[in-house]
Amino acid sequence: MCDGAGMAPSHNDSPRLKVAVVGLGGIGGAAAGLLARPGLYDVTACVRQPFDRLYVEGPEGVFDVPLRTFTDPAAVAPVDWVLLCTKTHETASAGPWLKRLCTPSTIVAALQNGIDHAERIAPYVNGATIVPVLVYYNGERLTPDRVRYRPVSANELVTPDDAGGRAFAELMQPTPLHVLTSADFITLKWRKLLINAAANPITALTLQRQAVLRRPDIYALCLDVLAEAAKVGRAEGAALAEDEPQRMMTSLMTFSPELGTSMYFDRLAGKPFEVEALTGAIVAAGQRHGIATPLNGVLLTLLRAISEENAKPQS
């Protein structure tokens, strides 16, 4: 991380910041629309299909904003900020965009799942500062130019409490998305991983939205899956409580049963899953520490089988 002197200047005392959003799914689409709406930044989107306006459905209704889109990495120039909102397994395919958008003075906010944001992204960003961001709003892409987002937490975004995290919080200040900066980011990123470790595999494998987590047998299974994951997280340095699995399930029960997960939507669409950054990360960390994770291992095997089949070219 660079210190505050290397950060892009505040929107209060500088020309309009240039912000590029790479990955315009539910998460990236909501972020792009909310950043563009106040008119303070020069926001562009890197997309597969071009469009002129972006429609965002949120708690206060629907709004639309004009949004400049690019479909060719060769057409973009370096920017002050990049919001990387692709799935983790799509990071390499975003590489051509990142290499064109980033310089050492760029800040890349990684709105991605997983626990190894910086290691995953660093090869593509030309020495840019990387800010890992945990996302706590539910996003769904409805059409190429329309997304829906729903907050599910008091803090929709979480970053480390360092120069990069604080700069990101300032960037997002004009939007309704609240950013929490935390000195104990390792614990919070494992808590987010635990949320994903229960909800994503179960909804994808059952092809049901989060209502399925309310079944007593599924609820009990999730507690056991999370107990394994929490043990691994503690070995990794996360300050997870002994009753962390129950806390995570209690939190999940506050989410609308109609919400889906990224793996659920990817399975419906016949796409690969970001399984390696979620369940795969738990199993891999367990192996590093000599901790058995049999339930997560079973889920990983099943998810890989579906994801790899979905990744095959369609005839």
What tens digit of pLDDT does each residue of 203-262 get?
999 999 999 999 999 999 999 999 999 999 999 999 999 999 999 999 999 999 999 998
Calculate the average pLDDT of the chain.
93
pLDDT at position 8 is 41
Rounded to a whole number of angstroms, the CA Rg of the chain reads 19
- Residues with pLDDT less than 70, the chain: 1-14, 315
According to the model, what pLDDT value does residue 1 have? 32
Cβ atoms of 79 and 54 within 8 Å: the answer is no
Amino acid at position 168, single letter: F
Catalytic residue among 192, 231, 271, 312: 192
CATH of the domain at 249: 1.10.1040.10
Count of domains observed in the chain: 2
Q: Is 142 helix (H, G, I), strand (E, B) or coil?
A: strand
Concerning whether 192 is annotated as a catalytic residue, the answer is yes
pTM: 0.85
What is the pairing mode between strands 137-143 and 146-151?
A: antiparallel
* pLDDT one-digit tens code per residue, 125-143: 999 999 999 999 989 899 9
Query: Is the same domain home to 37 and 177?
Result: yes
Per-residue pLDDT, 171: 98
Write the CATH number for 18. 3.40.50.720
Question: Which of these three, 149, 164, 182, is where a domain ends?
Answer: 182
Q: Are residues 135 and 190 in the same domain?
A: no
Distance of alpha carbon 112 from alpha carbon 91, whole angstroms? 10
> Residue 315 class from Cβ within 10 Å (0-12 exposed, 13-18 middle, 19+ buried)?
exposed
Domain end call among 182, 211, 230 = 182
Report phi then psi at 306, rounded to 5.
-70, -45
Q: How far is CA 9 from the centre of its chain?
A: 25
> What was the pLDDT predicted at 153?
82
